[in-house]
Structure 1
Amino acid sequence: MTDDDVLHAFRASEALLEGHFVLSSGRHSGHYLQCARVLMNAERAGELARALAQKIPRDIRSQIDTVVSPAMGGLIIGHEMGRALGKDAIFLERPTGTFELRRGFRLEEGAKVLMVEDVVTTGLSSREAIEAVKREGGEVLAEVALVDRSGGAVDLGVPFFPLIDINFPTYAEDEVPEALAAVPVTKPGSRK
């Protein structure tokens, strides 16, 4: 699957939005990738997951015991990655603001984990999720994501394999350009 194929899937599902958005990271952008829309079609979600699985080097892929994703954004792609890799897929939640396993999910001590996200911008959620896996006794071998919005700059502390790199500019609240500031703000992400 080429970058053009991935972008076509986002555009065709109306998942590439333009406006003024506050991302889950707190940064502002004129573009938003609503991965829930691109993943709402099960066949397309499976195709994206299979393409993403191919990005993982074979030596890492062969060690994975469990797929873990942070809720909400990583849930669907995490589940599809579990299917693509033939592994169980579980997810982390933030009932009190900190990621944790719930619903009877647990990791065996030393379990080798693939972290799966939908979009990575600053990597904050990913790093928090990786720390949660460590607290639960697992070891994150690598992370995959549908989209890397960091321009390749994000450091997660583990190898990172995005399906596509998209470098839409993002801005701190006090750096928002005048033209973007004039557009009404939408906050579509899952973090409050």
Structure 2
Amino acid sequence: MNITQIYKNAGALLEGHFLLSSGRHSPFYLQSAKVLENPKTAEELGVALAKIIQDSKIKVDCVCSPALGGILAGYELARALRVRFIFTERVNGIMTLRRGFEIKPNEKILVCEDIITTGGSARESAQVVEKLGAQVVGYAALANRGICNRYQSSHQFEAKECKLNPSLPLFALEDFIFETFEAQDCPLCRQGKVAIKPGSRGN
């Protein structure tokens, strides 16, 4: 699958000045909701991601995603893996498991996002389910922004800013290597351009 072309065809590869959920700024933004609004495409992406995970031979009992951005990707991945799906969400800024979802002791959970930048939200979700007795076996995403290292990728990064557990694999369909900046170092800010936040958090 040509993941880059899929994002372009859906009008989901945006160019401008964006504030990412990680707090960093970028001249590019991946709007996965535009890709996932097509159920057929969402299913195909979920199946492709599931194939990578199945080939790795890790056991997965459940997929968990942080709301809101990861829900559609996580659900399609769980459907392709034929396992149950749950999600965490923020309550007063704190990631929480609600809505009657329960964790079984030592349940093997894969945490899935639509996009992994630093992996902060995915790591928060992992910590929530780990505290409830789960065993997190890895992370997954449709696309990896190139700060964390993807499973079996030819691109390897320093990963200093990656917040994911480095001992666990990150499965993704593609690396999108866009330059990102801390706000105080952002050249677009110095040009007087205002960063917009097209994602789900804080909108």
- TM-score of the superposition, structure 1-length normalised? 0.92
8 Å Cα contact 1:110-1:138 kept in structure 2: yes
**Structure 1: gaps spanning 5 or more residues:** none
**Structure 2: gaps spanning 5 or more residues:** 150-158
Structure 2 counterpart of 1:161: 171
| Residue 34 (structure 1) aligned with residue 31 (structure 2) | yes
**Range 178-187 or range 158-167, more displaced:** 178-187
Cα distance in 2 between the residues matched to 1:71 and 1:136: 18
Q: Deviations over 1:128-158 (max 9, x none)?
A: 1111111122111011111111343235112
| Residue 78 (structure 1) aligned with residue 94 (structure 2) | no
Q: In the alignment, residue 161 of structure 1 is paired with which amino acid?
A: F
How big is the shift at 1:20?
Answer: 0.4
Structure 2 counterpart of 1:92: 88
How big is the shift at 1:178?
Answer: 4.4
Structure 2 counterpart of 1:12: 9
How big is the shift at 1:123?
Answer: 1.5
Cα distance in 2 between the residues matched to 1:179 and 1:185: 7
Q: What SS does structure 2 have at the residue aligned with 1:109?
A: coil
How big is the shift at 1:180?
Answer: 7.1
Cα distance in 2 between the residues matched to 1:171 and 1:119: 17
Cα distance in 1 between the residues matched to 2:191 and 2:199: 19
Structure 2 counterpart of 1:53: 50
**Range 72-81 or range 134-143, more displaced:** 134-143
Cα distance in 1 between the residues matched to 2:81 and 2:104: 19
Q: In the alignment, residue 76 of structure 2 is paired with which amino acid?
A: E
| Residue 174 (structure 1) aligned with residue 184 (structure 2) | yes
Structure 2 counterpart of 1:186: 196
Q: What SS does structure 1 have at the residue aligned with 2:99?
A: coil
Structure 2 counterpart of 1:67: 63
Calculate the aligned-residue CA RMSD, in Å: 1.5
Q: In the alignment, residue 64 of structure 1 is paired with which amino acid?
A: V
How big is the shift at 1:189?
Answer: 2.1
Q: In the alignment, residue 59 of structure 1 is paired with which amino acid?
A: K
Q: Pick closer, same or farther for the CA change 1:12–1:132 going to 2, 3 Å.
A: same
